[in-house]
Amino acid sequence: MRKKFKQRTFSGQIRYYYILLFLAVFLMCGILYAVTAYRMLSDSENNTLQYSLQMVENNVQSLIQSVNDSSKIVAFQDTVQKMLNKKEPLSYEERMELQDTVIQTAACCDGISSIYLFDEEGESYLAGNIYEVEEIRSWIKDTSGYEAALKEQEVENFNYAVFTYQTGREPEQNIISFIRPVRNLDTMENMGILAVNVPYDSFMATFSAVTGQNGMEVAVLGRNGEALVSSGEGAWLAEEALEMEEGVYDVREHYGNKYKLGMVSGDQGTWTVIGAIPKNEAMSVMRQYTLLNVLIVGIGMILCVVGASFQTTKIIRPIRNILSSMKKIKEGKLERISVIETNEEIDYLQQHYNQMLNETEELMSQKVEEQRMRRKYELSLLQAQIKPHFLYNTFDSVCALAMMGRTDDVYTMMQALGQYYRNSLHKGQEIITVKEELNIVKNYLIIQSFRYDDVFEAVYDVDKEVEPYPMIKLILQPLVENAIYHGFREHELQGTITIRAKDDGDYIKLQVEDDGIGMDQEKLDQVLNRTEDNQGKRFGLFGTIQRIHLYYQEEQKKLVEIQSEKGKGTVITVRIPKEKGEENAQRISDR
């Protein structure tokens, strides 16, 4: 996999990186969105459920409080207390007066369908449908609620028993009856039973707003957990309430659908409101939002990939042009590229690539010129090595010595001449050791000492450890020759030539010093600029300096240094690099 990736083009790698980056960002955003959305959805469900249950509980509380208030108004009426407290049967007028009191009270109460007042004998005084009275009377007496109501002792407690039943008429009407005893306010003895009847529709109105708005199902439970009233299919919530705690929201399943349940208790636990919000609907909305977000992110990702590809192409085009130009360099063609404006970095790369080609072309021209100069100096060096006039003069000196019978001197001079040419020619090689270079100078000075007797004296100051180091040949001999001819002979002077070879750190310091006539600055400039070099008949000082810089190409430190003072002499110092000397010289020699 990694090998295949490395084999891809640069543009392919960039696109691959972009796609991986976008996928990673998309995955992280998706996970973050899912976690956040789930938490927000759960919190929203809990808040909605809590708000809705509190609203229903408040409405139920208000309705039951209204029922309580109505029952107290009836039970505490003077007429009711007076009539029910009589021991003898009521007259017709009294009965009608009691009936009117109940009817007037019922008319003032909203949400109440009927009120039934029963005395201890079972006689009824009603405000409602008269044909229901016998059914309700028998139903009350047959239930435990009647007995519970009779046992109530505390008048201020206002507890009540709740019953549900259906009337026998068509259509059937569900009614919830709230029953309480009517007591004598003086003796607190039971004088009768009061039933306040509330239709289902009144209870349904307490939570119709929440059930119609978000599909919530609600059930109102009695103190024993029985379902008093419920919306739609909400009766199943009574069973779920047995396993729930108030303030805790649970997820339950009912007929394949998931609901989030919550409940809240009413006044003193006499009733409980439990509600359920369908999660399927909420999840459906969440899926829609999720799909929308995925679509938006997908479109954004496609646009980003397209934009990245476009930007990558802008970057790659100049690079491809550079690569194409670089391939042509192998063929010897230095072809400049057309600068395509993209961004600061790529523009800088293109411009400096063209600049590099210009500098390369200039360097190649310099190398060609350097090669030409090298061949020229090699030819001059070869001519300097052969030196016909030097040979003629040497042979003339040998002949003169022979004529004088100085055979030992003839032998010495001829041996020095042979050694001189053997070391200087050196089988055509450019590199010799410092020791061999010193031998060339020694043999040259032996020959010149016979020719110019008593003109100069040679002194050597050499560190033995520098003798094995390599260097280019014939560096010292032209300097020594320059000292003889320009320092002593032309001015008919005598003096000393000192040749030194010293260790100078990373360099070998070679030095030729004479105490001859010396030069002023003007004369030195003429020599260095080759305006005077014995009419070009000798290789000379200028050519030697050029050879040194040509071979070693050392720019950080000056390799040749000349110190001269008119009337005092001249010191020429040459520094040969130890490590780079052989490498650079051999590189140039192998061309």
Of the residues 244, 275, 303, the one at which a domain ends: 303
On whether the pTM is more than 0.75, the answer is: no
What average pLDDT does the segment 220-243 reach? Answer: 75
pLDDT of 159 reads 45
pLDDT of 184 reads 83
Indicate the number of domains in the chain: 2
Asked whether residue 271 falls in the same domain as residue 394, the answer is: no
Interatomic CA distance for residues 465 and 505, integer angstroms: 12
What average pLDDT does the segment 112-134 reach? Answer: 69
**Taking a C-beta distance cutoff of 8 angstroms, is the pair 178, 161 a contact?**
yes
Of the residues 247, 272, 303, the one at which a domain ends: 303
Q: How does residue 133 score in pLDDT terms, banded at 50, 70 and 90?
A: low
In this structure, is residue 318 part of a structural domain?
no
What average pLDDT does the segment 73-89 reach? Answer: 80
Asked whether residue 281 falls in the same domain as residue 133, the answer is: yes
Asked whether residue 10 falls in the same domain as residue 130, the answer is: yes
Asked whether residue 297 falls in the same domain as residue 395, the answer is: no
**Within a 13 Å sphere around the CA of 362, how many CA atoms are in the beta-carbon half?**
6
What average pLDDT does the segment 192-200 reach? Answer: 80
Q: What are phi and psi of 118, to 5 degrees?
A: -115, 135
Interatomic CA distance for residues 454 and 420, integer angstroms: 21
pLDDT of 468 reads 93
In this structure, is residue 345 part of a structural domain?
no
Q: Please, is 58 exposed, middle or buried when counting C-beta atoms within 10 Å of its C-beta (0-12, 13-18, 19+)?
A: middle
pLDDT of 103 reads 76
For the stretch 421-459, pLDDT in tens is 888 777 767 888 999 999 999 999 999 988 887 788 999
Interatomic CA distance for residues 246 and 264, integer angstroms: 6
In this structure, is residue 100 part of a structural domain?
yes
For the stretch 479-521, pLDDT in tens is 998 888 888 887 778 899 999 999 998 899 999 999 988 888 8
In this structure, is residue 260 part of a structural domain?
yes
pLDDT of 453 reads 79
Asked whether residue 267 falls in the same domain as residue 416, the answer is: no
**Taking a C-beta distance cutoff of 8 angstroms, is the pair 197, 207 a contact?**
no
Q: Please, is 108 exposed, middle or buried when counting C-beta atoms within 10 Å of its C-beta (0-12, 13-18, 19+)?
A: exposed
pLDDT of 113 reads 75
In this structure, is residue 319 part of a structural domain?
no
In this structure, is residue 367 part of a structural domain?
no
Nearest to 419 by CA among 400, 380, 447, 390: 447
Asked whether residue 292 falls in the same domain as residue 392, the answer is: no
Q: What are phi and psi of 188, to 5 degrees?
A: 60, 25
What are the residues facing 365 on neighbouring strands?
none
Computed from CA positions of residues 4, 5, 11, 17, in that sequence, does the dihedral angle turn out positive or negative? positive
Higher pLDDT, 50 or 280: 50
Across 42-51, 411-420, 473-482, 512-521, least confident range: 42-51
In this structure, is residue 2 part of a structural domain?
yes
Q: How does residue 378 score in pLDDT terms, banded at 50, 70 and 90?
A: low
pLDDT of 536 reads 40
Of the residues 279, 303, 327, the one at which a domain ends: 303
In this structure, is residue 205 part of a structural domain?
yes
Asked whether residue 399 falls in the same domain as residue 524, the answer is: yes
pLDDT of 534 reads 45
Asked whether residue 427 falls in the same domain as residue 288, the answer is: no
Q: How does residue 469 score in pLDDT terms, banded at 50, 70 and 90?
A: very high
Mean pLDDT is highest, among 8-12, 81-85, 156-160, for: 81-85
**Taking a C-beta distance cutoff of 8 angstroms, is the pair 272, 265 a contact?**
yes
Asked whether residue 284 falls in the same domain as residue 415, the answer is: no
CA distances from 461 to 311, 350, 472, 501 (A): 70, 57, 20, 7
Q: What are phi and psi of 445, to 5 degrees?
A: -70, -30
Q: Which residue has the tokens 């007496």?
A: 141
* CATH code assigned at 2: 3.30.450.220
Does pLDDT of 155 surpass 70?
A: no
Instruction: Label the pairing between strands 431-433 and 470-472.
Output: antiparallel
Higher pLDDT, 567 or 208: 567
For the stretch 339-372, pLDDT in tens is 777 777 778 787 887 888 888 778 777 777 767 6
* Residue 172 one-letter amino acid: E
Give the domain extent around 529.
387-589
**Taking a C-beta distance cutoff of 8 angstroms, is the pair 260, 38 a contact?**
no
Average pLDDT across the chain, whole number: 76
pLDDT of 262 reads 85
* CATH code assigned at 534: 3.30.565.10
